[in-house]
Structure 1
């Protein structure tokens, strides 16, 4: 148990007391930002079906992670502001860890997951940014980094349990929409995709001409086979600058 408050307060999408059953019938632009609602409109039916599935999971006595107020958190940053896409698999199945952003955990979680610790190691080797003891990546999202899991929920204690329940259709539409954006001058909107591991690389066909930086997954089982030494952060910034966009400041606040 930790007494410190999380670095970034999570703003509820429809109130902390709203459950998955109530979310099924809420307007789409209440669940996500207005521009994300437009991007996800073609898969609104699929989204409502998966929310209904989550409501059924809860009704059956299962704990679903993350909480209803965070399950769509990745779509609460402006759609138009996304400039780096990082694709994860599904949320951490440990209660208290999942916060709706790929690889991130609540700022109070100790120790942080080993994959995230390896991400921090590579960040320090790449840009000299010291590793943090917390896993709150909210500061990245504020700069246009979309931390998107392919599957946005999980049954507590059972990794991968919500795969093939409908989330893949939603996140396929989200990735396709982000990669298809255009600037006012008609050129593709600046975007770089970081794909870590085989699951993440499976979305490459959705990305069109988007520059892709692919490597092994940062998991302890694979990080030494190509993630370490890949320098994804400096390379992403270089590609953003080539597209006329500002670089990301990958520094995270200190607790």
Structure 2
């Protein structure tokens, strides 16, 4: 699996991780899971979020937890799905988008957003079907923490959208004061009401981008 080939400059960064002992152990475990069990997303989509733009162009990081565990729903991008089914968290994000910017979005495939230099990253990149968090604490968190650190160390003026306690816990990795952090509760039905609903998070992101003379995100 670590022979993955990307069309972007993320390839070099991922290759550095692939050589590390923790990642070799992780891939041994993950490869065995794919051989013997049903795993989401498909193998070809595990690193899909890194294939839409070059590392140095990263504008926004939206951090999720782990992929959808419903069969065929996960597509390698956090919160996104190619299925014509609206997951509840994504539905709440679309509701906020309507309230905030009066944009009605129906397409659950977020690849158009990813292509605007947005890293749709989960803290774990795989999960067993119907078993949420089943691949937590296997090594994926080390990998994604290192990705966040790489962005923080080498880039500036990157916006990090951290939704929910799991994502907010990653704030400690972002030490460069040239970055921007937006925190809300998770958009799931269980916590959306705490601070995600009516947060105007999408206009906040676009206003930050405008203040940096960057292109806004077309949500």
Question: Larger C-alpha radius of gyration, 1 or 2?
Answer: 1
1:211 corresponds in structure 2 to 180
8 Å Cα contact 1:96-1:109 kept in structure 2 = no
Q: Which runs of 5 or more residues in structure 1 are unaligned?
A: 1-22, 183-187, 251-255
2:152 is aligned with 1:179: yes
Question: Residue by residue, what CA displacement relative to the aligned partner does 1:185-240 show, whole Å, maximum 9, x if unpaired?
Answer: xxx2x311111110000111122221111011100011111101111111011112
Give the match for residue 200 of structure 2: 231
Partners of 2:64 and 2:105 in 1: CA distance: 20
Once the two structures are superposed, the pairs formed by residues 144-163 of structure 1 within 5 Å of their partners are 144-163=117-136
Alpha-carbon distance, 1:34 to partner: 4.8
Question: 1:85 and 2:58 equivalent?
Answer: no
State TM-score, norm by structure 2.
0.92
Q: Distance in 1 between matches of 2:41 and 2:191?
A: 26
Secondary structure of 1:143's counterpart equals coil
Contact 1:40-1:170 at 8 Å conserved across structures? no
Larger proportion of helix? 2
CA distance in 2, matches of 1:240, 1:71: 29
Q: What displacement does 1:39 show?
A: 2.3
Q: Is the 8 A contact 1:88 1:103 kept in 2?
A: yes
Change (3 A) 1:33 1:174: farther
Q: Does the 8 Å CA contact 2:8/2:51 hold for their aligned counterparts? A: no
Partner of 1:113: 87
Aligned residue number for residue 18 of structure 1 = none
- What are the ranges of 5 or more consecutive residues in structure 2 without an aligned counterpart? none
Is the 8 Å Cα contact of residues 79 and 89 (structure 2) preserved in structure 1? yes
Residue 127 of structure 1 pairs with residue 101 of structure 2: yes
* CA contact 1:89–1:199 (8 Å) conserved in 2: yes
Report the Cα distance in structure 1 between the residues aligned to 2:152 and 2:5, rounded to whole angstroms. 22
* Aligned mates of 2:218, 2:68 — CA distance in 1: 26
Distance 2:189 2:198 in 1: 14
Q: Secondary structure at the match of 2:44?
A: coil
Q: Name the counterpart of 2:14.
A: 40
